[in-house]
Every structure is written in structure tokens, then in C-alpha cells.
């Protein structure tokens, strides 16, 4: 999951870092697909938080306000909307919070297939604060995917 808002951190710097990661991830998986032919199955389908009682739904309403203030795209869904989106959820559902801009990726495809297909050089996406690594040769049949992150210093 690429779900910075669902992680429920009180650390604003960590939330900002996770949001930046989510923002650059589509470019990273596009570049990975282009360079080594790996489709990580990136999907920005959102995350659904379900309430089975009125008290939990009230908590989700408050959480929606907090996430909106942080820049998330959120929507409160009533019972009917929740069941329309996820028909197999319990019929006792009261409502839900949909965090629309969260995403997911198939980590098995991203990791295992990437490392098998990267043979003579590794790369890291050039998007945002992430920089390229220099080509590497590996003596074994399998290369590791190396990442070189260059994070800007906070002022």
C-alpha cells in the first residue's frame, strides 16, 4: 500500500515524506516499465475505512476533516454508497471514509521481477529528489536493484 494518510502518523514530517513518496511513485513505476519491462501494477484506487457503528462513523468524519486539511482527497460514503463500492462488506456497515488518492502496487512484481531483469546496470528514478545511480556490474547472474536517495536538507 502507498497510503500515507491511512498510516495514521502524528509526525508531520513523516506524513510529508510519505506524501512525497506517493507523488513520485507513478513516475518511478513508469520509468521502471520503460527501462526494464516490469509492470508493478500501480493502481490509485484509494483506501476505504469502514464503520460498523455510529461511534466509528463519527471518528471517520473527524478523520476526514484532518486529512482534508493535510491535502488528501477524501469522501465520506453513506451505507448505500459503501455497499455499492464494496458489495461483500458486512450488511451492518454504517458508512465509510474513502481516501481517494492513496494507491497500491504489487511488491512481488516490483521487487522480484525487477531484480531478475536488471542485469548490467541499475537505476533509480530521476523524479523529484531521487537521483540516478551509476551503472554497476555484478559477478553473479542476478543483480540487485540499488537505490541512491538524495534527500534535500530541511532548513
Q: Give the model confidence (pLDDT) of 112-145 as tens digits.
A: 655 555 544 455 544 444 444 433 333 332 333 3
User: How far is residue 49 from each of residues 29, 34, 77, 94, 95, measured CA to CA in Å?
Assistant: 26, 34, 10, 11, 9
Does residue 53 lie in a domain region?
yes
Does residue 123 lie in a domain region?
no
Segment 14-60, tens digit of pLDDT: 888 888 888 888 898 888 888 888 888 888 889 999 999 999 999 99
Does residue 75 lie in a domain region?
yes
Does residue 77 lie in a domain region?
yes
Where on the phi/psi map is residue 122: left (φ > 0), alpha (ψ -120 to 50), or beta? beta
Does residue 145 lie in a domain region?
no
Overall domain count for the chain: 1
For 84, the domain range is: 12-117
User: How far is residue 75 from each of residues 63, 68, 129, measured CA to CA in Å?
Assistant: 11, 9, 30
User: How far is residue 63 from each of residues 39, 57, 134, measured CA to CA in Å?
Assistant: 33, 10, 43
Does residue 136 lie in a domain region?
no
Does residue 83 lie in a domain region?
yes
pLDDT at 38: 82
**How far apart (Å, rounded) are the C-alpha atoms in residues 48 and 1?**
12
pTM for this model (two decimals): 0.65
Question: Which has more pLDDT, 62 or 154?
Answer: 62
Does residue 6 lie in a domain region?
no
**How far apart (Å, rounded) are the C-alpha atoms in residues 62 and 123?**
42
pLDDT at 139: 33
**How far apart (Å, rounded) are the C-alpha atoms in residues 127 and 86?**
34
Amino acid at each position: 500500500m502507498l497510503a500515507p494518510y491511512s498510516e495514521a502518523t502524528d509526525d508531520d514530517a513523516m506524513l510529508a515524506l510519505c506524501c512525497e513518496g506517493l507523488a513520485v511513485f507513478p513516475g518511478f513505476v513508469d520509468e521502471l516499465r520503460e527501462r526494464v519491462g516490469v509492470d508493478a501494477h500501480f493502481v490509485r484506487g484509494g483506501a476505504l475505512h469502514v464503520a460498523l457503528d455510529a461511534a466509528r462513523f463519527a471518528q471517520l468524519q473527524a478523520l476526514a476533516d484532518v486529512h482534508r486539511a493535510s491535502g488528501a482527497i477524501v469522501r465520506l460514503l453513506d451505507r448505500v454508497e459503501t455497499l455499492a463500492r464494496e458489495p461483500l462488506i458486512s450488511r451492518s456497515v454504517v458508512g465509510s471514509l474513502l481516501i481517494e488518492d492513496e494507491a497500491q502496487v504489487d511488491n512481488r512484481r516490483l521487487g522480484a521481477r525487477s531484480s531478475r531483469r536488471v542485469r548490467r546496470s541499475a537505476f533509480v528514478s530521476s523524479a523529484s529528489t531521487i537521483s540516478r545511480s551509476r551503472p554497476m556490474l555484478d559477478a553473479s547472474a542476478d543483480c540487485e536493484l540499488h537505490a541512491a536517495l538524495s534527500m534535500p536538507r530541511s532548513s
